Structures are given as C-alpha cells and as structure tokens.
Structure 1
Amino acid sequence: MRAWRALGWIAIIAVGLFLFQVLRTVVISVIVGVFITALLLPPARWLGRLGLSRALATLAVFVGGLLVGGAFIALLVPPTVASVSELNASLGKAVAELNNLATRFGVDGSAVVDQIGAYLSRQGQTIATGALTGVRTAGEILVGTVLAVILAVYFVHGGDRLFRWLVDLAPAAARRPLVESGELIFTVIGRYIRGVALVGLVDGFFIGLALWILGVPLALPLAVLTFVGSFLPVVGAFIAGLLAAVVAFVAKGWLVALIVVAVTVAVQQLEGHVLAPQIYGRALDLPGAVIIVAIAVGSLVAGVTGAFLAAPVTSVIVALLHRHVAASDEVPPPAPAGPRAGPPAKESPA
C-alpha cells in the first residue's frame, strides 16, 4: 500500500508540473497576487478597524502603494542616468588597469579584449534572436503583472469570502484541515514577505550608505538592487555584492572595491546571525543548501520568476510538512490488545 501511495503522489506531482507549464502565467499571477495580498492586507485591516469600509480600505492601500512606487521610480531614475554617464567615463581607466595587471602575469590583455569583442560580434544573430524572445517574455510579464494586481485587489477586498466558498465545495470531513492549512500557508507567506522586505530594507540602507560615503557611482540603484536581491536568498546577496564591488573597482579602484566587499560581508553576517533569525523565526529557517536547490529548480521550471518564488514556496511546503508530522505525533497509538479470555480452568480433583 505504501508503494502504491508513493506512486500516486509521484503521478499527482507530475500532473501538477504539467499543468503548471501549460498555465504558468496564470498560476504565477495567482501566487504573486497572494504575496501582494499578504503585504497589503495588514494595513487594509488596520484601516478597517479605524472605521473605513472594505472598499475604501482596499482603495486606500492600493492607491498608496501606486503613489509610493511612482515616487520611488521618479527618485531612482535621474541619479541612475547621471551615475551611468560617470561610470562610462571611468570604464576606460579600469580597462587600462586590467590590461596592466594582465601584462604583469604574462597575459596580453589587449588580445583578450579583442577576442571578447570578436566573440560578441559573432553572437549578434543570437543576441537579436534573444531580443525577440525577450519581447515575448516582457509581454508575458506585463500580462501576468496586471492579472496579479487585479487578483490582489480582489483578495484584499474579499479574499476571506472566496476562501470560505472554496472550502464549502470540499467534503465536510476535509473542511477543517483545509481551513487550518490555508491559514498556515497565508501566515507563512505573510511572515516571509514582510520579513524579507524588512531585512532587504536594512541591507540596502547600510550598503547604499557605505557606497554613498565612498563616492561610488550608482549608489542608490545598487542599494535598490540589494533590496531586490534579498528576495532571492543566498544567491541574490552574492550577486548584488559582486556587482557593487565591480562598480566600485571601475570607478574608484582596488582599494575602494575591497572596502565595499568588506562592508557587504559585514552587513550580510549581521543579517544572517542577528537580524534574520529575529524576524523570520525558526519556522522559516531553511538551510542554505535547500534554498540553493529550490532556487535552481524554480529557475528551471519558471525562469527568473520561479527563482524568486522558490524560497517562499519551499517555506510553505516545509511548514505544511512540519504540521503534518506534528499532527501525526499527536494521534494516540491504538491501545494494545489485552490477554484473550479463555474458558475457565477446570479445578483438579483433590
């Protein structure tokens, strides 16, 4: 029976992955909509406790979110353009320094640069094809984003009613486990999204402040990239720190680049050992190897979006497994059977 049950679960997972590939845009939009809901539902409930209706509270949080996003983009674009111009002016100096360094090790740096340029020119057709694919991907992202926002509006306004309606469709014996599982999933997602956003905000602030003090171009965009990279645990922090070090090297040289690396490592250590455990708690404490494997699988299944969704989905799965194990441990074992009563023993004659 266990073997057949295992085969059944394998078949269910295979069918689920197939349906995910077919309906990938819709499924990802639903998941992203749930994540946005987990982020915006607490302020909407707070406004509801102040006396606003559901419609007004939902309108207020989404209009506020759009205003904050628009102001953020307006604040980010001008310094990014100015910093890119400054970075282009420093690029030639950095290339010359790399050529000198390569020459010291007996490597012809100019030949390496020429080979890289020739390779890029040969890949022109591939790049053009990739651009067409990127246009298609951008269209899918746009459609998925609009659908996710619309679903998030509906979830914030009446998600509890929709959830009760879905639960009522299930058999009566399965309703209570479904309600408990749904509450657990939403709690884990909410804690993850709010925790990652807070940790990323702290990381981006301190790393961006260090870049600004050191006079590194693109300090604000790199701080934003650090914040976004926090949603890609382990891998995102490494990529953001590496890019910050490269920009610091191009603009300011080796010494400033090493200082940036040291600051990034210090902030990441502070996050990993002090800040993150206090915010996430033990329920979301996943080993680094598990996170890396989950991100790799998510990227293979759904690209960049799957990589970003891999960690929270894995956290939800682990939380459900913990709940299942805990529920199994609470079930009392069956009472052992007592000695079977037999016929009364005959008394031996005296």
Structure 2
Amino acid sequence: MAVMSSRDGKTIDLAAVFPAKGDSRRPPDWWGRALLYVAIAVFLSVFVWRSWGKVDFVVLDVIIALFIALAIEPLVIRLVRHGWKRGAASAVSLIGLIVASLALLALFGNMFVQQVISMARGFPGLYDDFARSLAAQTGWRLPAKESLGGEILKNIQTSWITNFAGQAVSTTVSMLGALLNLLTVAMVTFYVSAAGPKMRRSLCQWMAPTAQRRFLLGWTTVQDQISGFLFSRSILALINAVCMSIFLVAIHVPYWLPLALFCGLTSQFIPTVGTYIGGALPVLFAWASNGLGYGLAVLVFIVVYQQIENLLLAPKISERTMDLNPAVAFLCVLVFGAIFGALGAFLALPVTASLQSIFKVYTRRYELVDSPLMSDPNPVRKSKVVEGAEAFNERVIKPVSERMPRAVRGSSARVPVDEEVARMQRELYAEHQRSSSDGDDNGDGVDESRTVAIPKNALSGHGAGKHLNGVEPGAGHRDDASHRDDAAREDDTMHRDGAGHRDDGTPTNPRSGWRR
C-alpha cells in the first residue's frame, strides 16, 4: 500500500485515490467506459445545440425527402417487378410526381391566384353584406367597417414602411432558398429511393439477426403507414375538393377554387375536427354572398358528403388506416404545426403513426394484472335513456349495418396487415418464444439465465486447461453422471412453461429453495 507522510506526521493513503486491481475500493471496469460515453454524449449534445440553427433546413429537407421516397416506394416496387431497373423506376416515379404537380399549377395556379386576390379586394364589401344579412336574420350588429379600419391603423407601426425594402430583398433571397431546397429534396429523394435495398443492407450488416428482423419490420411498417396515408389522403382530398368545387359553382358562390382546396386539404389532414374547420369558410362565404339559405345548403352538402366519404370512399381508398387515438392525433397536429409550421401539421399524422409503430416493434408487452381500475364497473341498473339507445341500436342501427357491404363496416378500426409484415411478426414471435424457453423466468417475469456454480479450482493453474465442468477441451466423451445431469436438465427445460413452472404447476426457480 502506497503511503506518503506529511510534515505534521499525518499519512496520506495513495491507494485510496488510485486503488489497485482487486481492491474493494476500486470502481468497476465499466466505470471508465461509462464516463467516456457520457462525455461524448454531452459534447455531441452541445455541438448539436449550437449548430442546429445553421443546419436545421438541411435536416428538414432530408426528412421531407425520406417521406417522399417512402411514399413513392410502392410505385417503384411495381415498376421493378415489371423488369425496370431500380434507378430508372425511381427517376420515372419522381419525374411523374413533379410533372403532375406542375400540370396542376399550370391548370389552376393562375385561377387560384386571381381568385385569392379578388377575395382579398372584395373582403370589405363581403363584410358589409355579411353584417347586413346577420342583422336582418338575428338582430346582431357587427362593428362598422370604419371602426375596424381605425383599430387596424392603430396597430400599424411606422417601421413597417421603412422595412418594406428590406422585406422585398429578403423575399427574393427566400425564393432562391426555396428553389435550392426543392432541388435538394428532389436529389435526396432520388438517391434514397434508388439505393433502397443497398441502404438497408448497409444498415443491417452492423446488427444481429434478431435486431435485423426488428429493424426490417419497423421499416416495413413505417413505409406502409406513410405511403398508405399520403396516397389515400391525397386522393380523398382531391375528391373532396372536386365535389365541393362543383357544388359551389352550381349555386354560384364566388371564389370557389380556393374555398374548395381549403376544404379538401383541411378535412383530410386535420383529424376529428378538420371537416368542420374546412367547411366553415365555404359556409360563411356562401352566407355572406348569397344569403343564409345558401350557407345552410353548403352545410347540408358537407354533412352528406362526409357520411358518403366515411362509409363508401374511405374504406375502399384507405385500406390501411392508421390506428391512432383521435385526441392524440389532434394534439400531434397542433404540436407539429406550432413547431414546424404548415409542413409539420401536414406530416404530423404519418410521423406519429411511424413512431407508434416503431415503439410497438421495439418494446415488449406483458399480461395485465387483475384490477378494478382496468375496466369500468358493472352497471347496477340501466336508465331509460340507455334502454332507449340500446333498443334503437338493436332495431335500427344493427339491421342497417348488417345489410351494408363488408368493406363498409368498421372502416375506422379495420387495419389490415400486409402478408410480409405478418410473416416478419411471426418470425419475431417464434424467436422470442425460443429465447424465452431457453432460460428460466423469475417470479416477476424477468428473463434470467440459469445460475451455475463455478468450480473452486476452475481458474487455477492446474485447472487452466479444462472447461468449467472439469473436462479437457479435446475430450470426446463424459462420464455417466454428467450424461444423467444433462438429460435431467433437458427434461426439466422441455416440461417448463414460459413462467418458470413445470407441467404439474411446481415452480422450477432454483432460487425458490423448494424445487421438486
């Protein structure tokens, strides 16, 4: 033991500061690695925090490109199955998407901009018409337009005029930046889609077989969620916008194109209340321009179309719906929209569903305990309202639902599973069952390996050439006692269930102390 004396006669034990190997005061071997990992994590966190403002647009472009690549993956796979090279299939799919977007802009872009400008210019007159209609129908009087203008002028800052030139320059720079972002997204999308299998092989070669299966299952589930969601929602939004446009043109409501597009996009990409938010604007414009009757007509059309979409269109178009709680989905849209803007709100649902799928793949679920908190209490007696609702459901709702096509029933809860995903799930489940049956489980259900006593002289000098069971490495046989012990151990393992019990219910946990 290293001891150093001081002038006052006190001694300092250096071994307490740097204990030798084998000393009880020495920290475990993993302590140094843990400190190194913590230091690396802190350094990376500080680096990301300081540099995030400079690279956030690149990260956002990569995320958008990844989503687009996953969305066009089914089309690429279909072309590859017909003999196309993957690079050519990815290029054709991406170019087709760009051409379709440009065609829509060429057909309706000019009309859309003109109607939006006309809507902005005609808003004062529209406000007067709406105020007169509301006063005539209900007696409520809105504030005069002149008073609203005064309130707006009070809030206008003189610095806005001086900053107009700077805003013009920044707008030009923003347009150039947006063009650069579009080119970046297109390029990254092509390379991610063209190198799909190669990229997955490069990632999987660093994983164990079980981790590879989990990774591929998560990838397949996320890809299915994103591609199915974007495809189905885009088609439903297009159908909604077309039907709304036809109806608004038929009843001569102005600005029908921006109103229909707003209604179609909002109703599909905002869960639960998107239909009502998207339909409120057409109802108000129809009421203000043509009267209360036209506003009610638009409201009735929205309600009827929503029922047709839920019962007939959505089950056939969106076969693989997302299994998301409506409240969670709505909150995710609000959070992502507040953080990342309109694009975040647009991608909130597929991102949330992907995270939920990954969480289900990489986590283990257990059996629930018996507790009254797990379910609602049994009713003591039924009220008249409940009896009436049950009678209505039994005599009206149930007969109507039984006569509906099978594809229509339960469209919100029907989530079919792809055959490839089901096969990967079965493989993971079988492998998990094998790994669980190889070892013993303790009373809490935590997997642990069998505790084996190490012979006293197994690591000594004269026993260094033997295994832990005392047999030479090259020995080709063992004694009869060893065979009997192995046979008994195998028989015990074969007759043990996953909870650590034998077939007759006797615990087999070696720590229990009363093993049979």
- Same fold per TM (> 0.5)? yes
Q: Which of 283, 286, 292 lines up with 2:324 in the alignment? A: 286
Q: Does structure 1 residue 180 correspond to structure 2 residue 217?
A: yes
- Residues 341/54 of structure 1: CA separation in 2 closer, same or farther (3 Å cut): closer
2:341 corresponds to which residue?
A: 303
Q: Does 1:335 align with 2:500?
A: yes
In the TM superposition, what is the alpha-carbon distance from 1:124 to its structure 2 partner?
A: 3.1
In the other structure, the counterpart of 1:245 is 283
Contact 2:270 2:330 in 1 (8 A): no
Structure 1 residue 183: Cα displacement: 1.6
What SS does structure 2 have at the residue aligned with 1:109?
coil
Match status 1:151 vs 2:185:
no
Q: Which deviates more, 183-192 or 198-207?
A: 198-207
Distance change >3 Å, CA 244–CA 287, structure 1 → 2: same
Q: Deviations over 1:224-259 (max 9, x none)?
A: 333432233345433321222233234323222221
Partner-residue secondary structure (3-state), 1:216: coil
Structure 1 residues 181, 108: CA separation in 2 closer, same or farther (over 3 Å shift)? closer
- The equivalent residue for 1:117 is 149
Check if 1:211 corresponds to 2:248.
yes
Q: Secondary structure at the match of 2:269?
A: coil
Q: Counterpart amino acid of 2:258?
A: P
1:319 and 2:357 equivalent?
Answer: yes
Structure-2 change in CA distance of 1:150 and 1:101 (3 Å): same
1:189 matched residue in structure 2: 226
The alignment's TM-score, normalised by the length of structure 1, stands at 0.77
CA distance in 1, matches of 2:249, 2:258: 11
State the Cα distance separating 1:293 from its structure 2 match.
0.8
Are positions 1:37 and 2:69 aligned together? yes
Would the aligned equivalents of 1:76 and 1:221 in 2 still touch at CA under 8 Å?
A: no
Shift, 1:203, TM fit: 1.6
Counterparts of 1:246 and 1:140, CA distance in 2 = 37
- The alpha-carbon distance between structure 1 residues 299 and 167, as it changes in their structure 2 partners (threshold 3 A), is same
Matching residue within 270, 279, 303 for 1:265: 303
Counterpart of 1:55 in structure 2 is 87
The one-letter code of the counterpart of 2:303 is V
What CA distance in whole angstroms lies between the structure 2 residues aligned with 1:108 and 1:179?
A: 59
Structure 1 gaps of 5+ residues are 1-7, 343-350
Q: Deviation per CA, 1:104-148, whole angstroms, max 9, x where unpaired? A: 6464732xx223212322333487779959948767655443322
Structure 2 distance, partners of 1:43, 1:275, is 22
Listed one character per residue, the Cα deviations across residues 59-115 of structure 1 (whole Å, up to 9, x for unaligned) are 3222222221111111112333554576578655533333435666464732xx223
More moved, 210-219 vs 166-175: 166-175
Rounded to whole Å, the distance in 1 between the matches of 2:290 and 2:133 is: 16
Question: How big is each residue's C-alpha offset from its partner over 1:285-334, in whole Å with a ceiling of 9 and x where there is no partner?
Answer: 32321111111211232222222221111111222334456776755633
Give the Å deviation of 1:277.
Answer: 4.5
8 Å contact kept, 1:248–1:256: yes
> CA separation of 1:170/1:160 partners in 2, compared to 1, >3 Å: closer, same or farther?
same
Of structures 1 and 2, the one with the larger relative CO (CA 8 A, separation 6+) is: 1
Task: Name the residue aligned to 1:71.
Answer: 103
Q: Percent identity?
A: 22
The answer to whether the 8 A contact 2:272-2:326 is kept is: yes
Distance 1:200 1:138 in 2: 27
SS at match of 2:72: helix
Amino acid at match of 1:38: L
Give me the whole-angstrom Cα distance separating, in 1, the residues matched to 2:362 and 2:100: 40
For 1:182 and 1:106, locate their aligned partners in 2 and report how far apart those are by CA, in whole Å: 57
Cα distance between partner residues in 1 of 2:183 and 2:102: 16
Q: Distance in 1 between matches of 2:221 and 2:119?
A: 47
AA partner of residue 128 (structure 2): A
In structure 1, C-alpha distance between the alignment counterparts of 2:249 and 2:327, rounded to whole Å? 33
For residues 325 and 119 of structure 1, the distance between their equivalents in structure 2, rounded to whole angstroms, comes to: 56
Count of residues in correspondence between the two structures: 329
Paired with 1:252 and 1:101, the residues of 2 have a C-alpha distance of 9
Structure 2 spans left out of the alignment, 5+ residues: 1-37, 368-428, 437-497, 502-506
| Pair member with larger Rg | 2
Residues 129, 289 of structure 2: 8 Å contact kept: no
Aligned residues of 1:192 and 1:312 also touching (Cα < 8 A): yes
The separation in 1 between residues aligned to 2:239 and 2:61, in whole angstroms, is 28
**How far apart in 2 are the matches of 1:172 and 1:88?**
60
The one-character-per-residue Cα deviations of 1:204-242 (angstroms, maximum 9, x if unpaired) are 222222112222223233333334322333454333212
Change (3 A) 1:90 1:168: same
Task: Tell me which moved more, 217-226 or 285-294.
Answer: 217-226
Aligned-residue RMSD, C-alpha: 3.8
Q: Judging by fraction of residues, say which structure has more helix.
A: 1
The 1-side partners of 2:209 and 2:88 are apart by: 35
Between 61-70 and 289-298, report the one with greater CA deviation.
61-70
Cα distance in 2, alignment partners of residues 197 and 108 from structure 1: 38
Which has the higher mean CA deviation after the structures are superposed, 284-293 or 229-238? 229-238
For 1:346, the equivalent position in structure 2 comes to: none
